[in-house]
Amino acid sequence: MSTTDSPRWLDPEQMRSWLRLQAVIGLLPGLLDQQLRRDAGLTHFEYLTLAMLSEAPGRELRMSALAQRTNATLPRLSHVVRRLEERGLVARSTAPDDKRATVARLTAAGWEKVVASAPGHARTVLETVYDDLDATEVGTLNTVLDKMLAHIDPHDTFGIGPATGPRAARRP
């Protein structure tokens, strides 16, 4: 590797923005995790897993589909779903049409858990992120995030491309 080719650097304004973005990235996940852990006894990722299942048809998804929607690796999801199953919030079963595949289904208790914890989570997101932003700022934020994602996630792993219609998650 050549260490000499055009060592670009951030300009002052970019650097100021970068410090703030790092702060948000560093602190926001912890806040969300803390709130959910305290009020619902769930990790943010566990909540996300349950939430994605709650919005799926039949409240069930194959592991690989669930992994994509939660942006997790398959091993990680496997561990988490096993713990959730031990707590009775989801149930696993092999898919009838492909015996390699596993489908995770939300149990009644899991559904109740999501319903109970969703409002508090939404409230936290609103308070920490959106309360002081007007519609214009949200729009610009959206544009900016889209441009970032074009580089960060070129293959649209999340399934939220720029062409996103009203596909957004709804209250369960």
Partner DNA sequence: CCTCCATGGTTGACGAAACAACTATACCGG
Partner DNA sequence: CCGGTATAGTTGTTTCGTCAACCATGGAGG
* Token pair 């696993």: residue: 92
Kindly identify the residues of this chain, within the stretch 96-125, that bind a second copy according to CB under 8 A: 116, 119, 122-123, 125
CA distance 10 to 106: 46
Binding mask 48-87 vs a second copy (x if CB under 8 A, - otherwise)? -----------------------x----------------
List binders of DNA among 12-31 (CB under 7 A): 30
49 with 80: CB under 8 angstroms?
yes
DSSP 131: T
For a second copy, which is the closer residue by CB, 29 or 41? Answer: 29
**Which residues, in sequence order, are CB contacts of 86 under 8 Å at separation 6+?**
none
Residue 64 interacts with, from a second copy, DNA, none (CB under 5-8 Å by kind): DNA
Nearest Cα residue to 46 out of 57, 62, 32: 32
Question: Which of DNA, a second copy, none does residue 43 bind to, with CB < 5 to 8 Å depending on kind?
Answer: DNA
Of 49-108, binders to DNA (CB under 7 A) are: 62-64, 67, 72-83, 92, 95, 98-103
